[in-house]
Amino acid sequence: MNGMTTAVGHEHGAGHGHGGEHGTESFIRRYIFSTDHKTIGKQYLLTGIIMATLGGLFAIVFRINLSNPGFISHEQYNALVTYHGAIMFFWVAMPILLAGLGNILIPLMVGARDMAFPTLNMISYWTFFLSTVVLIISMFAPGGAFSGGWTVYPPLSSDPGKFLGAELGTVLFLLALALEFASMLMGGVNFITTTLTMRAKGLNLMRLPIFVWMEVMASLLFLFSVTPLIAGAVMLLLDIALGTHFFRVEAGKVGDPILWQHLFWFFGHPEVYVILFPALGILFEVITTYSRRPVFSYKGVVYATIAAGILSFMVWAHHQFVAGINPISAMAFSVTTVLISVPFSMTLVIMGLTMAGGSIRFTPAFLFAFFAFIMFIIGGLTGLPLGAVGSDIYFHDTYFVVGHFHYTVFTIAVLSSIAGIYHWFPKMFGRTINEKFGKAHAWLTLIFYNGFAFPAFFLGFAGHPRRYYSALELGYLQKYQWIHELMTISAILLLATQLVFLFVFFYSIFAGKEETEPNPWKSTTLEWLAPSPPPHLNWGSFAPIVERGPYEYAKDGRDVDFIPQGKLVRIRSQERR
């Protein structure tokens, strides 16, 4: 790809002994089976973007059916909703936020030359690629795609054929998920090891950029939460393939579908943070840079995130308040859910205080980050009535939930990712995206996003169940059909805006204005010391040394606006790791 690993700043001291640095590498080693963390990150990013387009198109198709019932069949509706949810979580948010930006940025931000295990890193991407292929094949499985919702609840999933989707479709869907999990686990091992063992001199843990903290904690959460789910998935496959009764219900057998709900949400709630944490990390990097302010309380964010991570293993049953769980344990889970809102409120307050009083530059990256901040507040506040047992009994499985989680997951997967893409675009590609376009993109996205997501709360108040093919089938909802029409129009405009963005994104990779300045935003963290784009092994015959914390902007008593976290020193080739 043009401008991806060109010779910009490509300096390697004479006589170094690195076999296989590019230049001598074939196209395939360089761009396809590359072990360079930046190329792997871009592969994840591009695959995630392509899948986002697919998941978005699916949403538009079933969204049109909601305003114009009969547009697609009932079977197609169920399948598309299922794949939309699964794609957006596992094939968009995770590859872009965790694997994509994590791969591109972690080694640069910690001052390493690559990940700890570059070959494992390459395998991780290609496992992910395979999972994408299997997922797409599963949609065309004879007998139908899996259609039981992204939560894969039995009996919808354990009795394929009888309920939704045929056996092969379901098995392939689970296989795709398993491959995706394996890929993210391999990535997580790299992220954790690289951060713990390969940091530049002087970079102690409390000097790490918050983004790195967030990626590592997200990887740890994923590691600990996915294990029970993998066991559950094997049990589910046994139910489907061998007729066991772990979850499957049949007269005289002991199968318990609620067991799946426990295993799923023990994973599922931390999973939401696996994508939320990196998104928050992006917002802190972007907000500090463009408001020229240090993070209001660095330790506050780190400790709040650790607390939220631990608590995230204790809230799962708030997804099961209406599944017949014991009222006393429901109360307990209600309390932990309210508790977990404390660290997040703290993080958002710190984010607000970081911006307050800063001299803000309203770049596209900042606008996206700022809008994400506001939207998270709506998402967080609307989560409270769902965490309290009493109100959740009414709101459960209504469009109120659809509204709530789109205010969180769309903000994570789309607004925050795009903030990160605008911010690091010059570093990744050595070119820029037009700033006027970026601002228009931010405003239009904000307007159409709210147009499609906010009315869902009203449908929820009216008692509109989610996952329904058509509101017209329920008499009491007929008068709200215009709300569905408004939401569909907004959603179409929202997607159209993103398609224009994608066009500009790809155009700018190849033909955007060249950015030769390594640090165009005057940012402090280490990645901005490397050339744009950084060469293979990042630092050539230099190595970064860290001298201070990551966010020294406009410090009292200093006349400079920012002080980079470290500097590059020349080294002899033997000293390179």
Q: By the criterion CB under 6 A, which residues form the site for ligand HEM?
A: 56, 59, 63, 81-82, 84-85, 88-89, 92-93, 149-150, 402, 406, 409-410, 413-414, 452, 466-468, 491, 494-495
467 binds, among Cu ion, ligand HEM, none (CB under 5 to 8 A by kind): ligand HEM
Residue in the block written with tokens 């917002």 = 283
Q: Are 40 and 105 in contact (CB under 8 A)?
A: no
88 binds, among ligand HEM, Cu ion, none (CB under 5 to 8 A by kind): ligand HEM
Q: Which stretch binds Cu ion (CB under 5 A): 63-71, 115-123, 141-149, 265-273?
A: 265-273
> Containing H/E element for 568?
strand 566-570
Minimum gap (Å) between residue 348 Cβ and Cu ion = 18
Q: Which is nearer to ligand HEM, 91 or 298 (CB)?
A: 91
Q: Which stretch binds Cu ion (CB under 5 A): 75-83, 143-151, 266-274, 435-443?
A: 266-274
Q: Which is nearer to ligand HEM, 316 or 410 (CB)?
A: 410
- φ, ψ for residue 158, nearest 5 deg: -90, -15
Q: Are 247 and 154 in contact (CB under 8 A)?
A: yes
Minimum gap (Å) between residue 315 Cβ and Cu ion = 6
What is the C-alpha to C-alpha distance for residues 114 and 111, in angstroms, rounded to an integer? Answer: 9
Structure tokens of 256? Answer: 């318990």
Residues facing 562 on adjacent strands: 553
Q: Which is nearer to ligand HEM, 273 or 521 (CB)?
A: 273
Q: Residue 533, preceding bond cis, omega within 30 degrees?
A: yes
End-to-end Cα distance, the chain: 27
What Cα–Cα distance (Å) separates residue 406 from each residue in 143, 225, 333, 359, 503? 31, 23, 23, 31, 25
DSSP secondary structure letters along 14-38: TT---TT-TTSS-HIIIIIS---HH
452 binds, among ligand HEM, Cu ion, none (CB under 5 to 8 A by kind): ligand HEM
Q: Which is nearer to ligand HEM, 5 or 157 (CB)?
A: 157
Q: Which is nearer to ligand HEM, 410 or 424 (CB)?
A: 410
Closest alpha carbon to 108 in 195, 228, 236, 231: 195
Minimum gap (Å) between residue 320 Cβ and Cu ion = 10
Minimum gap (Å) between residue 225 Cβ and ligand HEM = 17
269 binds, among Cu ion, ligand HEM, none (CB under 5 to 8 A by kind): Cu ion
Residue nearest to Cu ion (CB): 269
Minimum gap (Å) between residue 314 Cβ and Cu ion = 11
- Kindly determine how many residues on this chain lie close enough to bind Cu ion according to the rule CB under 5 A: 1
Minimum gap (Å) between residue 159 Cβ and ligand HEM = 18
Estimate to the nearest angstrom the gap between the alpha carbon of 449 and the chain centroid: 18
Residue in the block written with tokens 């968009």 = 92
Q: Which stretch binds Cu ion (CB under 5 A): 114-122, 263-271, 326-334, 532-540?
A: 263-271
Minimum gap (Å) between residue 266 Cβ and ligand HEM = 18
What is the C-alpha to C-alpha distance for residues 214 and 218, in angstroms, rounded to an integer? Answer: 6
Q: In this structure, what is the dihedral angle of CA atoms 204, 206, 209, 212, given to the nearest 10 degrees?
A: 80
Residue nearest to ligand HEM (CB): 85
Residues facing 543 on adjacent strands: 569
The answer to whether 269 contacts Cu ion (rule: CB under 5 A) is yes
Residues that bind Cu ion (CB under 5 A): 269
